[in-house]
Structure 1
Amino acid sequence: MNLMIEARGLTKSYGSKIALDGVDLNLAASGSIALVGPNGAGKTTLMSLICGYLRPSKGEIRVLGEAPGGSALLGRIGALPQDAQLDPGFSVGIQLSHYAALQGIPKPKEEARRVLELVQLSETFNSLPQSLSHGMRKRVTIAQALIGQPELVLLDEPTAGLDPANARAVRELVNRLRGQCRFIISSHNLEELQKMCDTVLHIDHGRLSNQVAVDDAGQEGALTLTLAPGIEDQQSVLTQIAGVRQVTKRDRDEYLVRYDLTTHPDFDLELLTALKAARIPYRRLAIGLSLEERLFTPEQA
């Protein structure tokens, strides 16, 4: 199996502080990866090691089969560091053309225009960064990460501080390009990551504490149901439906329903039929556990 990232005992220390502590990874060269965890957990350190910005204190790591930071990976990896800034004294086009030239791209201006078109900001080529909104500047820095059509793109907090419209534009961009390259994305927004990534890694205190596949969400025999308000004795009605094993109230009208997936593989349809027969309106139904539950409370969820 071809691996995108392979790490053994990967450790990075800053003096007495251990930022990454003996991480082992085998990530296939398909699909996109999300990194989640609290501030200071080691996410940015791991991304820096993948890019070759830092060297491990112990252990080893291979990216696309090569050692990070070497000439063999030149042009194959793109990155958006956290809080990346643009130079206020030069236009967007000049800066992106410069980055393209540094990668040895023959026609750097054409490449700058190409990546700006990808992020739907072609009109900003001659603009100074300070004339752009925060969201537009963020998308320009993402364009920088796409120069040269890299195989792997790392985005550290790509939607942090963005308004909903710009955050959606970033999500749509990632999903549009997922077939052309692989992404590793760090973010605190779990709902957003679930829309963009195939595998989620949870890092805490420098260690890999959990790993889940997004596509497996429907294989747990659980769903979240939000009923219309004003329905009396909601929980007892749900527990009487065939196949239900447990009903847990989360919020005023929201329930986590666990069911027997083996004997009721089409339980969602059976549930909707039962609700219709009982004349109980519903507002929302989501198959599987939320990403938050799967990552942080697997034993209770």
Structure 2
Amino acid sequence: MNIISCQNVSKSYGSKQALNQVSFDIVPGQAVALVGPNGAGKTTLFSLLCGYIAPTEGEITILGHRPGSTPLLGKVSALPQDARLDPNLTVQAQLILFAQLQGFDTQGAKAECQRVLDLVGLSETANQKPLSLSHGMSKRISIAQALIGSPQLVLLDEPTAGLDPANAKAIRELVRSHSNETTFVISSHNLDELEKLCDKVLYLDKGMLNQSVSIQDNQADDYLTLVMQQCDSAHLMETLSQWPQVKNVKAAQYNEFVVHYNLAKSFEFEMALLELFSVQGWTYRTIQRGRTLEEKLFSK
């Protein structure tokens, strides 16, 4: 069973159409990215998945049920980007309260509070109030709240926005470590981060599903992405374009090149590249099989 099925969903606010005939399916255990420009309909789609609003047209089911319905209680959670903790209650008191609202008894709620604090590595903050925590720690506590009850689906809106590198890394590792048993749908503008975390990308633009891209298919992708540290760009492109196994080479951005070539099981092509770099005295940063997420989404 698909964990999410969205079929021909549209949503209008008066004369403004926020979503237009959006259809996709998500299977359990995937980490899925939701991306698009501001105003593309991402927040509307999240609100529909949470059951806060209903579609104007079409149908959404989560685990076979309508979003927001009783059978989904405890199975779906969401963390809005602007979620805030109550400044007057300790971290422990808030998490226990939310656990009790999900049906845990007093002892069970205390144990669940400890479990989710351990998950985010912040058990020592249990007796502190939110105003004494850093922004990154508060965000991790909010994610702990979203994981109460081990939901099957977790919706995260910009979970690492504004965080320092250490806290952002901690959240990425938390999502990655739970992706086998929990399906995450993550809205973010950070494509590099999503490329590390997700299996699939849904790209919304002007309320329509513009693309649905698989990220983890690079092993079968007949492209290489070269990021050079130092080279003669024109000479590199001219040389590669003359190789018989190269179909096309283009400059994606400064010192980054995308090579479309005849994929082979051996690494002869990669070895030839390294030999070329050695002869020319060029240095490279990365040689990546496949294309970057940015290139997949926005290449013409």
Scaled by the length of structure 1, the TM-score of the pair is 0.91
CA contact (8 A) 1:7 1:62 kept: yes
* Partner residue, 2:64: 65
Tell me whether 145-154 or 20-29 shows the greater mean CA deviation.
Answer: 20-29
Q: Give the structure 2 partner of residue 285 of structure 1.
A: 287
Q: 1:293 to 1:230 in 2, by over 3 A?
A: closer
Other-structure match for 1:6: 5
Which residue of 251, 259, 270 maps to 1:257? 259
Write the deviation string for residues 195-244 of structure 1: whole angstroms up to 9, x where unpaired: 11101000111111100101123433221213342558333333344512
Counterpart position of 1:136: 137
Alpha-carbon distance, 1:178 to partner: 0.8
The one-letter code matched in structure 2 to 1:202 is: Y
**In 1, are the aligned partners of 2:227 and 2:286 still within 8 Å (CA)?**
yes
- DSSP 3-state at the match of 1:155: strand
What amino acid maps onto 1:214 in structure 2? I
Q: Deviations over 1:3-59 (max 9, x none)?
A: 111122212222222211221122222311110001111111111111112112221
Structure 1's 81 and 250: CA in aligned 2 closer, same or farther, altered over 3 A? closer
How far is the alpha carbon of 1:70 from its aligned partner? 1.0
Show structure 1 runs of 5+ residues with no match: none
**CA–CA separation in structure 2 for the residues paired with 1:292 and 1:67:** 33
The one-letter code sitting in structure 1 at the alignment partner of 2:204 is I
Specify every segment of 5 or more residues in structure 2 that has no aligned partner in the other structure, as ranges: none
SS at structure 1 position matched to 2:60: strand
Partner AA of 1:28 in structure 2:
V
Whether the aligned pair in 1 keeps the contact of 2:28 and 2:182 (CA below 8 Å) is no
Q: Which shifted more, 184-193 or 267-276?
A: 267-276
Matched, 1:20 2:19: yes
Separation (CA, whole Å) in 2 of partners of 1:265 and 1:23: 41
- Distance across 2 between alignment mates of 1:80 and 1:59: 25
Supply the RMSD in Å over aligned alpha carbons. Answer: 2.1
Q: Retained in 2: the 8 A contact 1:115–1:144? A: yes
Equivalent position amino acid for 2:165 in 1:
P
Q: 1: CA distance between counterparts of 2:255 and 2:73?
A: 53
Which residues in structure 2 correspond to 1:201-280 (within 5 Å)? 201-229=202-230, 231=232, 233-261=235-263, 267-276=269-278, 280=282
Q: Quick one: distance in 1 between partners of 2:101 and 2:194? A: 31
Report how many residues are paired: 297
Mapped contact 1:11–1:56 kept (Cα < 8 A):
yes
Partner of 1:33: 32
Which one is further off, 257-266 or 170-179? 257-266
How many Å separate the matches in 2 of 1:290 and 1:164? 21
Distance in 1 (CA, whole Å) between partners of 2:228 and 2:123 is 45
Tell me the equivalent position of 1:193.
Answer: 194
